[in-house]
Amino acid sequence: RRDALLDAISNIPDYFKTIASNLMAEKTFKQYKMGYSDTPKFRLLHILVDDETILTVFLRLRASFDNIIPYALFLTEKITQIFGSELGELTKISLPSFQYEENIFNKYKAQMQQMGFDVGGIYRFKFAIVGDNAVGKTAVVRTFVENEFSKDYRATIGLNIITHNFEFHGNDINIVIWDVGGQSNFERYRKTYYLGTQAAFIVFDLTNRKSFENVEKWYSELKANINKPDVPIILVGNKSDLINQRVVTFDEGLKMADKLSSKELAYISYIETSALNGDNVQEAFKTISYLYMLKTKEIEEKREKDQVLEIIQEILEENKTLTLAFYTESPFWSPGLKVMTGIEQLGEFKVEQGEKGIIEYIYENGLILKNCIRTIQNLADFDGILCVFDAIHKKFDPAWRDLLTTIIKTTDPDRAISVGIRVPDDQVYIHVLEQLSVKELEERLESILIFKLAEEIQLDIYEQLKNILNRIKHK
């Protein structure tokens, strides 16, 4: 077996050896533990497992990185466990539907930034917690809000509403918790309580089989009365501290989440909590907040994406062709290209190797995207150019000034050009602007737009793409 493994490793194509070597040399990859690249047939997602190991996931060219990242991170965790296990020790690697774990959030916090989350945001949403009577819904809420467990049980009469604020990865979360009574005689009134719900827990008691079997009933009641697609829902198995009394296994909880997910092709997470000792209670509420933030981001991103698509279609209808260039210093990090190739409505594209350092994405509708890695040539061929300079790790690179000077001298004054400077703070941004100051740039300020990128950049990129496209449209 060892010989077979060594033989397989020795047959890995040189291409992947080169990719791995280049990735390990990238500061951005080491910071975010993630990068991506494209081949003519696949998109490749690379994740740093440890200092010597990279996990590469093969995706279709049109695949969304955002959708696959949670699963890839889950596999990364499992690989880490395998590497650290003793000989003969088993590691369970079956994929859930997906259970978002708090340790994954903490370890890969940077991925939230990669996906376009801002810090300093304010999120407010209505959150319903439902389930059978006496499963511990109110106890879970009290443990979360007051960090206190009450041993005196009293059933919630109809409804209990609690507002709570907390911080989550630099964002202010304000949730209005609707703790809905589980008694059957209140069913006719619960329909009113569900109006406007934006996220929900379905809670069952791990020591009560009937409460678990009723989960599907609660799911149906939620879906029938919320009237919104893709509302984030987490299935919560409570009372995990009663180990000797539990009658529902962890695998059964996961399978139930999978079953509910398959009904409407939505993802329902599963987590087990103990209101008594606080296990996973904070994590459960942070997870539902993350899912709500993700949904909010998706809505905002869709609006931006639709606007970019509309302008591109108008340009193509008028001019028949459109060529955009994206300058980046890393073959594994090109935010503008990532945004554009993620717009599925643009149609199919093929990937071709262009001139040295340039990869071309050619669409059937006349759109051509060129990813220019540390070089940019034949500038007259481009209708618009988006450059991104990464000043997170270095305050300034003289090559940036040389590149801008070249662009200015070799392009028409009406060429649409935007330059994004990714910085950790305003001081670095001011420093880079001072160093970029050249006479030619001052003369072209009307046609060259320089903007600041914070660490969270996706929506900023959409905004700048709209600026470039509108300038092309109206020139």
The string of pLDDT tens digits covering residues 305-318 is: 899 999 999 999 99
136 and 270 share a domain? yes
348 and 469 share a domain? yes
User: What mean pLDDT do residues 86-108 have?
Assistant: 51
C-alpha distance from residue 92 to each of 72, 96, 107 (Å): 15, 11, 20
8-state DSSP, 277 = T
Q: At what angle do helices 281-319 and 137-146 cross, to 10 degrees?
A: 90
Residue among 412, 410, 409, 407 at smallest CA distance from 450: 407
Q: How many domains would you assign to the chain?
A: 3
Higher-confidence position of 246 and 264? 246
**DSSP characters over 220-241:** HHHHHHH--TT--EEEEEE-TT
Q: Residue 113 has what pLDDT?
A: 45
What are the start-end ranges of the E strands in 72-196? Answer: 122-131, 159-168, 171-180
Higher-confidence position of 98 and 230? 230
Q: pLDDT tens for residues 138-163?
A: 888 888 877 655 554 444 444 567 77
285 and 352 share a domain? no
Q: How far apart are CA 459 and CA 185, in angstroms?
A: 47
Task: Record the tokens describing residue 120, joined without a space.
Answer: 């300093």
120 and 252 share a domain? yes
Q: Is residue 254 part of a domain?
A: yes
- Last residue within a domain, chosen from 69, 95, 121: 95
Residues 28/45, Cβ–Cβ less than 8 Å: no
C-alpha distance from residue 422 to each of 63, 293, 358, 386, 429 (Å): 26, 23, 22, 13, 8
64 and 159 share a domain? no
**Across 235-239, 243-247, 355-359, 398-402, least confident range:** 355-359
137 and 250 share a domain? yes
Q: Taking 60 as the threshold, does the pLDDT of residue 393 lie above it?
A: yes
Q: Taking 50 as the threshold, does the pLDDT of residue 33 lie above it?
A: yes
Q: How far apart are CA 171 and CA 297, in angstroms?
A: 13
Q: How far apart are CA 95 and CA 107, in angstroms?
A: 19
147 and 20 share a domain? no
Q: Taking 60 as the threshold, does the pLDDT of residue 117 lie above it?
A: no
Q: pLDDT tens for residues 408-461?
A: 777 777 778 888 888 888 888 888 888 887 666 666 666 678 888 865 577 788
Q: Domain containing 464 — which CATH number? A: 3.40.50.300
Residue among 136, 143, 285 at smallest CA distance from 206: 136
326 and 375 share a domain? yes
65 and 133 share a domain? no
Q: Taking 80 as the threshold, does the pLDDT of residue 132 lie above it?
A: yes
User: What mean pLDDT do residues 71-100 have?
Assistant: 64
- Last residue within a domain, chosen from 95, 121, 142: 95
Task: Record the tokens describing residue 290, joined without a space.
Answer: 């993350």
Candidate ranges 79-88, 188-197, 302-311, 379-388; pick with highest mean pLDDT: 302-311
Task: Record the tokens describing residue 85, joined without a space.
Answer: 């296990």
335 and 266 share a domain? no
83 and 118 share a domain? no
Q: Taking 70 as the threshold, does the pLDDT of residue 38 lie above it?
A: yes
Q: Is residue 424 part of a domain?
A: yes
Q: Range of 135's domain?
A: 113-296
50 and 173 share a domain? no
At residue 70 the predicted structure's pLDDT band, cuts being 50, 70 and 90, is: low
